[in-house]
Amino acid sequence: MPTIVLRHVSKRFGPQELPGAGRVAAPTARLFDTNRAHNAGRPRTAQEPPDRSLALDDLSLTIRNGETLSVLGPSGCGKTTLLKVIAGLLKPDSGEITYDGVPIQAIPIAERGIGMVFQTYALYPHMEARENIGFYDIVRHQPEKIPERIRHIVEVMGIEVTHLLSRKPPTLSGGEQQRVAVARCLAREPKLFLFDEPLSNLDAKLRVDTRMQLNRLLRHYQITSVYVTHDQTEAIALAHRIAIMRAGKIEQIGTAHALYEAPVNAFVAQFFGTPPMNLFLGHIFGNAWEGRGFQVSSIRPGLHQGQAVWLGIRPESIELGDHGIPARVEFTELILPQQIQLVYVTLSGQRCTIRAPLSTRAEPGDLLHLRFPPEYLYFFDRDSGARIG
Ligand SMILES: Nc1ncnc2c1ncn2[C@@H]1O[C@H](COP(=O)(O)OP(=O)(O)OP(=O)(O)O)[C@@H](O)[C@H]1O
Ligand SMILES: [Mg+2]
């Protein structure tokens, strides 16, 4: 399995080819919506994508031998373009891509050994599933000779049952087609597996089942893979490392744990984690942070006096008690499998999410008192979004 290295890769699409121009990345919108009043008339900052025609912007990345790297990012940030560039289907304007040190262009397509599975399955509709997987002749003429690898893949993917194998794609459900498509790719012994939201058409239960099957196979065969998804749970379950992309760049790459605990900027902090981190704009005064209508004291030292910063706190870090910052309950959402509820409150006119036990009394209109423990606070520079504390 190869190690794939991308160095300073850029790809620009011409303005006439820009169907996505003008799209606003959802988390960016969310970040600034939360505190809209503070941002009226604010000049453009590094928080906003500077150039929408750059699908990949000086992007460098190493995909390690045998690892599954997941790529998460808002719609239009360049994920599919990244996969196409890695596969050699799209030539970057600048930068280079190497497989084990060899430039991709120097390797004939047939020898690259890349398997790709996309949201649309691209099976051959007129062929039975077993023909699609590519061992039809063996099954028909010498069933005892089915290679062990194919036997194993087909079994793990749950398509060993003959009634599936002998059917043609139009008669298979979306989930069945998806599993056949994955099996087809794996059967060809890819050196590199590229997935572009392969499970997004499946229902919740099938997604979980197929994700587990896929996980088993990727681990077993240690296939280097890049897995693009919008589903954070899927990324966490499948990937060794996760890359968070935005506007053609990788903002941060690391384990799910590292991204969650130590986001490098406000974008990653809000993008990674469900529900997202709460952010409030304010200033540093003495050892306190002062925002609109409330303040938090005893914050960590080292922040500049008067500096404009976003204060961040995750929903599960907010404590409720008899005293604290008053906030009015808007509505609640029960998350029964986790035995918790999400309580949405209004705090000085801004929405804030709290993760609370089911036993917490929180009816719409109730007044709660919130405490922001200093040890769980994050601080981000207002203009650059960079984490500063
Ligand atoms: N063939 C193309 N011609 C012109 N622009 C393109 C082309 N392909 C992609 N783009 C633009 O490049 C940017 C990145 O597109 P890409 O498809 O890589 O995004 P994505 O992250 O995969 O989005 P999604 O999550 O919606 O699939 C978008 O602004 C898109 O409109
Ligand atoms: Mg895409």
User: Cα-atom radius of gyration of the chain, to the nearest Å?
Assistant: 24
pLDDT for residue 23 is more than 60:
no
- Element containing residue 154 per DSSP (H, E): helix 148-156
Check pocket membership of 247 for ligand 1, CB cut-off 6 A: no
More confident residue, 136 or 176: 176
Enter the pTM of the model: 0.83
Question: Once rounded to an integer, what is the mean pLDDT over residues 168-175?
Answer: 75
* Nearest-CA residue for atom 4 of ligand 1: 17
Question: Once rounded to an integer, what is the mean pLDDT over residues 109-118?
Answer: 85
3-state secondary structure of 161: coil
* Class of CATH domain 277-381: mainly beta
Check pocket membership of 75 for ligand 1, CB cut-off 6 A: yes
* Nearest-CA residue for atom 24 of ligand 1: 75
Q: Could you tell me whether strands 192-196 and 114-118 are parallel, antiparallel, or unpaired per DSSP bridges?
A: parallel
Which ligand places an atom closest to the C-alpha of 25? Answer: 1
* Nearest-CA residue for atom 9 of ligand 1: 81
Which of 103-117, 173-187, 198-212, 309-323 is least confident?
173-187
How far, in Å, CA of 4 to CA of 103, rounded? 10
**Region of 293 on the Ramachandran plot (φ > 0 left; ψ -120 to 50 alpha; else beta):** left
Å from CA of 72 to ligand 2 middle: 10
Nearest Cα residue to 55 out of 99, 31, 23, 101: 23
For residue range 254-307, what is the model confidence (pLDDT) as tens digits?
A: 999 999 999 999 999 999 999 999 999 999 988 899 999 899 987 776 788 888
Which of 39-43, 84-88, 243-247 is least confident?
39-43
Question: Which are the contacts of 160, defined by CB distance < 8 A and separation ≥ 6?
Answer: 151, 154
Which ligand places an atom closest to the C-alpha of 71? Answer: 1
Check pocket membership of 315 for ligand 1, CB cut-off 6 A: no
Nearest atom of ligand 1 to the alpha carbon of 82 = 18
How far, in Å, CA of 64 to CA of 43, rounded? 40
* Nearest-CA residue for atom 3 of ligand 1: 17
Which ligand places an atom closest to the C-alpha of 20? Answer: 1
Supply the pLDDT for residue 132. Answer: 67
Check pocket membership of 51 for ligand 1, CB cut-off 6 A: no
Check pocket membership of 17 for ligand 1, CB cut-off 6 A: yes
Quote the percentage of the chain above a pLDDT of 90.
Answer: 52
* Nearest-CA residue for atom 27 of ligand 1: 75
Nearest atom of ligand 1 to the alpha carbon of 84 = 18
The CATH T-level fold of domain 4-14+22-113+190-261 is: Rossmann fold (3.40.50)
- Does residue 203 contact residue 172 with C-beta atoms inside 8 Å? no
Nearest atom of ligand 1 to the alpha carbon of 230 = 25
* Nearest-CA residue for atom 25 of ligand 1: 75
DSSP 259-301: HHHS-SBHHHHHHSSSSPPEEEEEEEETTEEEESS-EE-SPPS
Helix pair 174-187, 204-221: axis angle to 10 deg: 10
Sheet of 295-296, strand order: 295-296, 288-291, 278-285, 308-313, 378-381
Nearest atom of ligand 1 to the alpha carbon of 78 = 18
Q: Report domain extents, the chain.
A: 4-14+22-113+190-261, 277-381
Residue 30's Cβ-side half-sphere holds a number of Cα atoms within 13 Å equal to: 18
Question: Once rounded to an integer, what is the mean pLDDT over residues 80-105?
Answer: 93
Residue 355: pLDDT band by 50, 70, 90 thresholds? very high
Å from CA of 55 to ligand 1 middle: 7
How far, in Å, CA of 309 to CA of 279, rounded? 10
Residue 120: pLDDT band by 50, 70, 90 thresholds? low
Burial of 375 (0-12, 13-18, 19+ CB in 10 A): exposed
- Does residue 227 contact residue 239 with C-beta atoms inside 8 Å? yes
Supply the pLDDT for residue 35. Answer: 35
